[in-house]
Amino acid sequence: MSKDYLRLGVIGGLFCLAVLVAMPAVPLKIPQVGVSTTVGGYFIRLFNDRLVVDLRDVKRGLDLQGGVKLVLRADMTKLADPDKAKALESTREIISRRVDFLGVTEPKITTVTTGDEYRLEVEIPGIADVKTAVDAIGQTAQLRFKTLPPELEWSQANFADYYQNPDLWVDSGISGADLRGADVTFAQGTSLQDKTTPQIELKFTAEGRKKFSELAKANVGRPVALFLDESTLPISMPVISQDLATGLTGDPVINGSFDMKSARALSLQIRAGALPVPISILQQQTIGATLGAESVQKSLKAGVIGLGLVMLFMLALYGRLGLIADFGLLLYTALVLSIFKLVPVTLTLPGIAGFILSIGMAVDASILAFERIREEISWGKPRTIALKLGFDRSWNSIKDSNISSLITAGVLFYFGSGMVRGFAVTLAIGIGVSLFTNIFVVRTVLRTLGKF
């Protein structure tokens, strides 16, 4: 018996915890004891920021926030197989940087590889115009190489004057489109310092190489500045060294006092101006934000009404037993919501629908068990025994019937994308949690309370 009370305690504790996690921030004021604080909506940092848990809000999908979704195809036909994965990853990095320039919060860029197809899915919340997004992503020539006009004197001493005055620079006609990429490498020299100092190697296209070679010959001893459209200051301002006086021999490098971190950062910035492979748009979608907000309101209302009606239904059909099932259902709702926040699950409209649907399915196991208890009693079993048998003997149907639903949720998750996955995830979480609340919680509460 004491074991049952222990379980009851665990259930009570779990319920409180789930409610605390699931609830949004609510102000709590008790003037009599001088308490004034907020409850719920936590933001937790642990272990020196190594674990950050944001429980302030559920993550909302694109259809709820409004925004733009693009599916891009990376054309890998000209690359050798081993290079493809790397090219896709660096395309992702570059596009992600370009999207960052739009200044939106939490854009999501994922790579999808199916067979021979290499794709990027880009979700940009908060912008209404798909053209803005396509323009930002589609630009291939953001990086510009500029030089100083011949009449301007150059010496290392006035570096800062030129660095801070982008207007003085003249476009050389070389852009990110002439560049295949930029990598961090190490110098070819023999000294230890050479071998450990990172430098950035610029990889030009055949056309770009020709242009840069001309530029180098004309600007020996003078600087060339690399501008990214959105930045007002050059991202780099190397001086063309003497050994380029006769034009390019190998790939040109930018060296200086780089450490690994700064070299990598610069190569990334340069690469942001050049996509390693051509991309094309396979699919694009805009979703109005107002539509999303309205839908959330409506779905929430539908959810609350649905929950209320199911609880009434259980109460009407099973009386006091129903009351316990209703408690299980409330615990279920709190648990599922807190799992959504903890994982975190990105909620979409179909996801919310899946959750609300699962509320209706959550009492399923209770109904099967209650009906069985009813039967056992009608067959002349004493109540306490009927209660145990009811749960034991209904387990088979409960297990089998839920597994078939889990199979479909699994298939949906595997084959689906976006919206469909959202639905599959909430449905699967719902089924899992409902098994727990019914089998463990409702059963324990019933057994402990004994009479019904």
Partner 1 sequence: MTHDTAHSGETVGRDLIKYKFWYLAFSALVIVPGLIALVGFGLKTSIDFTGGSVLKFSRPVDAWDTAVVRQLVIDRGVEVSSLTVGEGGQSISVRTRPIDVNTNAELVAAVVAASPADTHQTSFETVGPSIGGETAKKSLTAFGVACLGIVLYIAYAFKNVPKPYSGVRFGLSAILAMLHDALVVVGVFAILGHYTGVEIDPMFITALLTIIGFSVHDTIVVFDRIRENLGRFKGKPFDWIANYSILETMRRSLATSATVAITLSALFVFGGASIKWFVLALLVGVISGTYSSIFNATPILVLWEGYLAKKN
- Smallest gap from Cβ 281 to partner 1, in A, equals 7
| Residue 371 is a binding residue for partner 1 (CB under 8 A) | yes
| Residue 314 is a binding residue for partner 1 (CB under 8 A) | yes
**Closer residue to partner 1 in complex, CB, 194/392:** 392
DSSP-derived secondary structure letter, 274: -
**Collapsing DSSP states into helix, strand and coil, what is residue 37?**
strand
| Residue 400 is a binding residue for partner 1 (CB under 8 A) | yes
**Which residue from 165, 183, 309 is spatially nearest to 250, judged by alpha carbons?**
183
| Residue 287 is a binding residue for partner 1 (CB under 8 A) | yes
Exposed/middle/buried for residue 120 (C-beta within 10 Å: 0-12, 13-18, 19+): buried
| Residue 445 is a binding residue for partner 1 (CB under 8 A) | no
Pair of tokens at residue 273: 């101006």
- Smallest gap from Cβ 226 to partner 1, in A, equals 29
Pair of tokens at residue 212: 């840069």
Helices (H), 229-348: 260-271, 289-318, 320-342
Angle ∠(301,426,307) on CA atoms, nearest 5: 35
- Smallest gap from Cβ 116 to partner 1, in A, equals 12
C-alpha pair distances (Å), 323 with each of 102, 318, 328, 433: 52, 8, 9, 19
Binds partner 1 by CB under 8 A, chosen from 397, 436, 447, 452: 397
Give the max Cα distance, the chain.
Answer: 108
| Residue 76 is a binding residue for partner 1 (CB under 8 A) | no
Cα end-to-end span (Å), the chain: 17
- Smallest gap from Cβ 271 to partner 1, in A, equals 25
CA-based radius of gyration for the chain: 31
**Closer residue to partner 1 in complex, CB, 90/394:** 394
Counting every residue written for the chain, the total comes to 452
Give the DSSP H/E element, type plus range, for residue 122: strand 117-125
- Smallest gap from Cβ 409 to partner 1, in A, equals 7
Within 403-432, which residues bind partner 1 (CB under 8 A)? 403-405, 407-412, 414-416, 419-420, 423-424, 427
Binding mask 324-353 for partner 1 (x = CB under 8 A): -------------------------xx--x
| Residue 131 is a binding residue for partner 1 (CB under 8 A) | yes
CA separation for the pair 111, 351 (Å, rounded): 22
The reply to whether omega before 344 is within 30° of 0 (cis) is: yes
**Closer residue to partner 1 in complex, CB, 65/199:** 65
Within 220-259, which residues bind partner 1 (CB under 8 A)? none
| Residue 126 is a binding residue for partner 1 (CB under 8 A) | no
Which spans of this chain sit near partner 1 (rule: CB under 8 A)?
63, 71, 130-131, 134-135, 281-288, 291, 294-295, 298-299, 301-303, 305-307, 309-310, 313-314, 317, 349-350, 353, 356-357, 359-361, 363-364, 367-368, 371, 375, 379-380, 396-397, 400-405, 407-412, 414-416, 419-420, 423-424, 427
